[in-house]
Chains A and B, each alone.
Chain A
Amino acid sequence: MSLVSVQNVSFGYSRDRLVLDGVSLEIRSGASVGLVGESGSGKTTLLRLLLGLTRPSAGEIRFDGATLDTRSSRYMRDYRRQVQAVFQDPYSSLDPRQNVLGIVSEPLRSLGIPGDRPALVEAALVSVGLEPDILGRYPHEFSGGQRQRIAIARAIVAKPKLLLADEAVSALDLSTRIRIVELLKQLAADMTLVFVSHDLGVVAALCDEMVILEKGRIVEAGATRKMLADPQHPYTRKLLGSVPRMPA
C-alpha cells in the first residue's frame, strides 16, 4: 500500500511559471526513493510540499490514506510525528546556541512526546553511530560528518514512518559521504526514505527506486537498477552520461 500518494500536484508563484507541473507519484511503505533532478527541476519544491512547509497550487498529497492538510494544526502535529527531515548543510541545520541534547530533543519537546528525553536522545545518538556522552556539547565542536549524524539523530528520535532527506550528503567530503550513505541505508531498513539529490551515484547506492525530474515534470520513474541499466527517457540518458567516472 502507498504511504505517500502525490496526486497531480502543481506548484507555482504564477499560473504561467510553474515550478512543479502535474506531478503524480506513489511511495510504498518501506521503500527508499530517490528524487533526482538538477537545479530548476522542482525537486526541492516537491520536498517542501511533502514536508508540509508549502501548500500545492493544485492537486493533493495523501499520507497514510488521509489528505495532508497543512491548515489543520492538529493534523500537522500528528503528521510531523511521522514525517521528519534531514537537510543539506550540517552547519546551518544545527542551532549553534543549543547543545546536542537541546537539538536532538527538539521534536520530543515540540510534539510533546512523553518519555525520558535524555535516554531517548542517547538511544538516537547511538543508532547514528555517535557516543551517547556528547549531550552537553555544542555543534561547533563537531566535524561536518558528525554534525550530519546529529541532524539525523534529531530526525529519527521521534521514530517517524517517513524520513525525507534533502541533498543530505552533498555538503560532505567523499570519505564521510559514503559512511553517511551507509548509515541512511541502514536506517531505511526500518522506515520509508525519500532522498532528494542531484547526485545519481549516491541515489544509485542508496535507493531502490528513483524518480527523475526535469523542469517541474517527472520524466521517468521506476526501479533504480532497471533505470540505470536501460534508461528510457533522453534526459535520463543525458544525466547518466554526464556523471564523471573513475578511470577503469
Chain B
Amino acid sequence: MQPLLQIQDLNLTVDGKPLVTDLSFSIAAGERLGLIGESGSGKSLTAMAATGLLPRAITATGAVTLGGQQVIGAPERVLNGLRGTVAAFVFQEPLTALDPLLRVAQQVAEPLRRRARRDGHELAGSALQREVLALLEQVALPQPERIARSYPNEISGGQRQRVAIAMALACQPQLLIADEPTTALDVTTQAEILKLLDGLVRERGMALLFISHDLPVVAEIVERVVVMQRGVAVETGPVREVFGAPQHDYTRALVVAAKAFDGALEGTA
C-alpha cells in the first residue's frame, strides 16, 4: 500500500544555500512519526514542504507525495484540496493560529462547513451548531457552550490549543501535522494536550507527524523518529532504539542532555 505521506530526496534551498538536504521518509496510514531537531534543523520547513506551504523564496526539488498527489509544483487549487482533507496542521502558538476577531464557534464552524460541502451537502443553522459543540466536546473542553461563545483571548492557552486541534480535526484528515504543539504551554497543560492528542490519533486511526525539539515529549507520543541536524536526517528508527542506543554523535549528545535533566529529577545526577 502506498504511504500517506512520502518524501523522497527532498532538497530545499534558498539562494543556493541548502536548508534541507536529501531527506527521505514516509508515514503510513495510522503511523505516528516524530521529527526531532533543534532550531535551524529544517524540521518545520519539511512539514511546510509536505503540504506545499513553503515561502516563495525557497526552492524545493525531489518528490513529496501526500495522499497519492505530488505536492511540489502542484497548483494552489490542488493543494487546497489536500490541506484539511488529507493533512491538517496544529501550530506552536495557538494565539496566532486563531483569528482574534472571531468567536470560537465561528472559527470551528468554517472547516466543518467546508467538509460538509466536500461531502456534497450544506451544513448550517442548528445542525452546524450541534457539530461545533460535539467537536469541542471531543477535544475535552469544559463548558463547550461557554467556550464556543468566547473570543480566543478570553480562554487559556491550553484551551486555545484544544480549539486549534478541534479545527484541525473538523475536516477529518488522515494525517495530523503538529508543529511544536505544546512548546508554548505550561508543563501540566502540556501533559494534558499530549494525552488528548494521543487519544484522538489512536481513536480515529489518524497518522501523526509530530515536530519537536523536546525528546521526552516526542518519546511519549510517537513510534518512530527522524532526527534532523542542519537539514540532514542523521538517524531514523523506532523511538526506543534511537533513544536507547543512539548511533549518531549528534543524537547521542541530545540523548545525553535530555537524560541529564531526567537524572537530575530522579536525584541520580
Contact = CB atoms under 8 A, between A and B. Distances in A.
A and B touch in the complex (CB under 8 A): yes
Interface of A: 38-39, 144, 173-178, 198-202, 204-205, 225, 228-229, 238-247
A242 B186 CA distance: 10
A201 B261 contact: yes
B258 interface: yes
A241 B264 contact: no
B57 interface: no
Given A175-B38, A177-B257, A238-B188, A201 B157 contact: no
Contacts of A144: 39
> Which 9 residue pairs across A and B have the least CB separation, nearest first?
A201-B261, A244-B216, A205-B264, A204-B264, A173-B38, A38-B186, A242-B191, A178-B257, A242-B188
Interface of B: 38-39, 157, 186-191, 194, 213-217, 219-220, 239-240, 243-244, 253-255, 257-262, 264-267, 269
A246 B260 CA distance: 10
A174 B240 contact: no
B126 to A, nearest CB: 37
A244 B253 contact: no
Contacts of B262: 201, 245-246
Contact of A244 (B217, B240, B267): B217
A245 B257 contact: no
A229 B261 contact: no
A131 B253 CA distance: 23
A204 B269 CA distance: 9
Contacts of B258: 174, 246
A201 B188 contact: no
B154 to A, nearest CB: 15
A133 to B, nearest CB: 25
A42 to B, nearest CB: 14
Contacts of A242: 187-188, 190-191
Given A201-B264, A246-B258, A247-B239, A174 B191 contact: no
A186 B128 CA distance: 60
